[in-house]
Amino acid sequence: MATRIHGTQVEAVQGDITREEVDAIVNAANKTLLGGGGVDGAIHRAGGPAILEACRNLNGCDTGDAKITTGGRLPATYVIHTVGPVYRDGNHGEPELLASCYRRSLEVALENGVKTVAFPAISCGVYGYPHKEAAAIAVDTVTTFVQENSGLALVRFVLFNGELFSIFEQALDIVA
């Protein structure tokens, strides 16, 4: 599923984010930025020690913020690390923090000359965010951002499994 919004291609694909040939991939990181499980662990393993070394110099990252490092051995030049919220019940700022992850990642991308960026489903793994809500927030935030900012050629949601891909595809279909 793909749509063009203000000159930016926005799409969802099923695949492995560590294989994306884009300027930057986004890492759903923890606050330390020193690696973890899920997408975070996969990115650190595939990108090699250069990513961890760069992360050590960043002094962590707050929930909802984003920081950039080298992509190491990844096809992507950069990794934008963002810390998603742990889902409790949706009434503790989780929607705003999740939206901030996407917005801050795109701001960091533009600040660093990134034209193409790939996102995972932030907070949808061990952080427990309900998938349909997370997809709606992700698509709405990205759509709003590209309507208000120029400079991005492609924003791609890369979903590891068919269920998440289907949910993101449906969310994109609503804005298409």
Angle, vertex CA 112, rays to CA 108 and CA 118, nearest 5: 60
Strand partners, 119: 157
Q: Which domain holds residue 80?
A: 2-175
pLDDT at 176 over 80: no
Encode pLDDT of 118-134 as tens digits. 999 999 999 999 999 99
Domain count across the chain: 1
DSSP state of 63: B
Verify whether residue 40 is a known catalytic residue: yes
Encode pLDDT of 41-54 as tens digits. 999 999 999 999 99
- The residue annotated as part of the active site, out of 23, 40, 89, 140, is 40
Q: Cα 169 to chain center, whole Å? A: 16
Is 66 within 8 Å of 102 (Cβ atoms)?
A: no
As a whole number of angstroms, the distance between CA 11 and CA 125 comes to: 21
100: domain CATH number is 3.40.220.10
